Amino acid sequence: MSITTTGNLGPMILQSLAPAMLYVPTPTMNYITVCDKVSMPANGGTTCRFMRPRALTPPTVQLGNSGIDPPAQVPQRDIIDAQMAFFGTGCIINEQVILQDQEGVLAWVSERLAVAMRQAEDLILRDYIVSAASQINAGGGSNGDNPTNLGITDFSLVATTLDTNNAYKFMSGIEGMDRFGTGPVRSAYFMLSSTELQSDFDALVGSGFLSQWNYPTNASALPSEYGSVYNIRVLTSSEAPVARGVSALGSDVYYNTVLGKQAITHINQDGYSMNLIYRDPYYSGMLAQNATLAVKFAQAQAITQDTAIRNLLSTRLSNLGV
């Protein structure tokens, strides 16, 4: 009896694909999440201009009966300009890959290009904030460095600075509930911090830091929210900026951005916020062998309320375990 086996059929490709592709580790994009967003109209020039009125002096002096008018005030405003810039990237894919790839290469490469573009928007905002926002060095920690690790007084200092500047808060408070281990959450600004500092935040539990897990309700917490201190709610990301080895003692310095509403504005170009471009192999070379997939976008950014944002620089309580 003749039995057909893999031995007499010739070599086979003995592999089977899993039902789904594995996930790609992707950082949380906190900067694009908390900024204001506006769109610059097409054919509107190269620069988006913001105008911010200055406050007038409140009239607190009585007029009296002299009939003489007080000195007139001259309204003034600040002008903030943001220059539009263009960015893009792409992949060249051979037609044989398109024909033979079992997972549909065009679909998953398109998805990764879109994610890379959104990540680029976030990184551009992050780098701009690091370079343009005012800085405060942490001094309330206990590690003896300059700046120190974050202490409770550092949160109080930066929150008081924004409060004194009449910055607008992002989030309303959360009332306390009769649940063991929970506590109320104040109306709050956001702090954008590194995931490398999460153990430092945990060390402050009992001194004023409230873990997101101990909120009365998690309904209003953002996915990357780690907890709150005073009127600051902390969001963490692996992409938060770190300057390696630059503290007084040679430790890493972390940029913890504390901001209120309208502190930073992201501007996209109307009709150009994301362009996914596919070019068939037909358009390439003599033998039409290669397709291209690409993405391009335009954006600008500006600090639109400079009194509502501060970079709080800190080190870690311990540099072990990074």
Query: Is the pLDDT assigned to residue 120 strictly greater than 90?
Result: yes
Residue 254 · residue 200 · CB < 8 Å: no
Top mean pLDDT of 90-94, 208-212, 302-306 is at: 302-306
Query: Is the pLDDT assigned to residue 65 strictly greater than 70?
Result: yes
Q: Which residue carries 């170009």 as its tokens?
A: 269
Amino acid, res. 168? Y
Query: Is the pLDDT assigned to residue 226 strictly greater than 90?
Result: yes
Residue 12 lies in a domain: no
Residue 316 · residue 258 · CB < 8 Å: no
Residue 34 lies in a domain: no
> Which residue range forms the structural domain that includes residue 189?
140-264+305-314
Query: What is the structure's pLDDT at 134?
Result: 96
Query: Is the pLDDT assigned to residue 194 strictly greater than 50?
Result: yes
- How many percent of the chain have pLDDT more than 90? 59
Q: Which residue carries 């008018």 as its tokens?
A: 69
Q: For residue 106, with 0-12 CB atoms within 10 Å meaning exposed, 13-18 middle and 19 or more buried, which class applies?
A: middle
pTM: 0.86
Residue 146 lies in a domain: yes
Residue 204 lies in a domain: yes
Q: How many domains does the chain have?
A: 1
Give how far Cα 194 sits from Cα of 197, 253, 301, 316, 318, Å. Answer: 6, 11, 22, 11, 14
Label residue 191 by pLDDT band (50, 70, 90).
very high
pLDDT in tens, 176-189: 444 544 455 657 89
Query: What is the structure's pLDDT at 12?
Result: 52
**For 230-289, where are the E strands, in sequence order?**
232-237, 242-243, 253-259, 264-269, 275-279
Query: Is the pLDDT assigned to residue 32 strictly greater than 90?
Result: yes
Token pair, residue 156, equals 């109080």
Label residue 173 by pLDDT band (50, 70, 90).
low
Residue 171 lies in a domain: yes
Residue 213 lies in a domain: yes
Query: Is the pLDDT assigned to residue 321 strictly greater than 50?
Result: no
Whether omega before 147 lies within 30 degrees of 0, making that bond cis, reads: yes
DSSP label of 124: H
Query: What is the structure's pLDDT at 6?
Result: 46
Residue 169 lies in a domain: yes
Label residue 82 by pLDDT band (50, 70, 90).
very high
Q: Compare 239 and 6 and report the one with higher pLDDT.
A: 239
In this prediction, residues 54-80 reach a mean pLDDT of: 92
Query: Is the pLDDT assigned to residue 322 strictly greater than 50?
Result: no
Q: In sequence order, what are the residues at sequence separation of 6 or more whose Cβ sits closer than 8 angstroms to the Cβ of residue 247?
A: 145, 146, 147, 253, 315
Residue 22 lies in a domain: no
Label residue 4 by pLDDT band (50, 70, 90).
very low
